[in-house]
A and B are shown apart, each in its own frame.
Chain A
Amino acid sequence: MELALAIVTLLNAAAPGIASLIMIIRRKDGSIAIGTMLDEADQAFADNLGQAAAWFKSHQTQTPPPGVINPAIAKNLQ
């Protein structure tokens, strides 16, 4: 799986069209859509964290509980 993804990454640099073809086949095959799903999940988690950070930033009277905000978000809140 890792090797397959590494190959796709390399191909993406060398020939984007072929890498896209592989990704399409991956989705149709159904068995290696894991990377795609994790990409989407990661993006959604990151978007959620950004959205929550923005709300806390605009509502400075509301202090998030200690330990809830990670350093990256804390920096964003300043």
Chain B
Amino acid sequence: MKKLAIPILAIALTFSACTDNQLEQVAKSLLVAAKSIGIVQTTVIEANKQGLITDETTSLILAGCIKANQAGQQASAITRSISKLDPASRQQMIPMVQSALGAVSASLVIDLSSVKNEQTKQAVLTGLTTAQTALNLVLTTLSTTGN
């Protein structure tokens, strides 16, 4: 096994160097979006438990987050299946990212005036804005050809 290890290691690293920088950017941004959406969800659920945010508003925000999470999962699955962002994979991913972006953007315009706690409101807005920025970056990357 040891004799095989070094050549295999070399092969693995050779292939690893063939990755697409844009693909890396997409993966990184998807991760940021996923984490940000998670922060938003945790914030609204905790605030809801404390009675700082209504069930209706929590439901609306979580519904938007679910849409974004599902689209993000699909985009991630495509990213995982390719080694380079070719025109076909870009076209396949763009609608999914647009869907996630649309859901996050829609959540950003939900009326948060009923949220009495300013810290909660800011945490939700910051999380959604971060997710929006990350998804916008994915979209820009997918729309930009080249490496």
Contact = CB atoms under 8 A, between A and B. Distances in A.
Interface of A: 1-4, 7-8, 11, 14-15, 18, 21-22, 25-26, 29, 31-35, 37-38, 40-42, 44-49, 51-52, 55-56, 59, 61-65, 68-70, 73
20 contacts: A1-B18, A4-B15, A15-B1, A18-B1, A32-B15, A34-B24, A34-B27, A34-B79, A37-B28, A37-B31, A38-B76, A38-B80, A45-B76, A47-B38, A49-B73, A52-B65, A52-B66, A56-B62, A62-B59, A64-B66
Contacts of A26: 12-13, 16
A77 to B, nearest CB: 11
Task: Pick the most buried of B66, B76, B80: most chain A CB atoms within 10 A of its CB.
Answer: B66
Determine the interface band of chain B, counting residues with CB < 8 A from chain A.
35 or more
Given A35-B80, A52-B41, 19 more contacts: A1-B83, A8-B12, A14-B1, A15-B5, A21-B9, A26-B13, A31-B17, A32-B17, A32-B19, A41-B31, A41-B33, A41-B34, A45-B70, A47-B38, A49-B73, A51-B42, A55-B62, A64-B62, A65-B63
Nearest to B23: A34
Given A59-B59, A68-B63, A45 B69 contact: yes
Chain A at the B interface: mostly helix, strand, loop or mixed?
helix
Interface of B: 1, 5, 8-9, 11-13, 15-19, 23-24, 27-28, 30-31, 33-35, 37-38, 41-42, 45, 48, 55-56, 58-59, 62-63, 65-67, 69-70, 72-73, 76, 79-80, 83
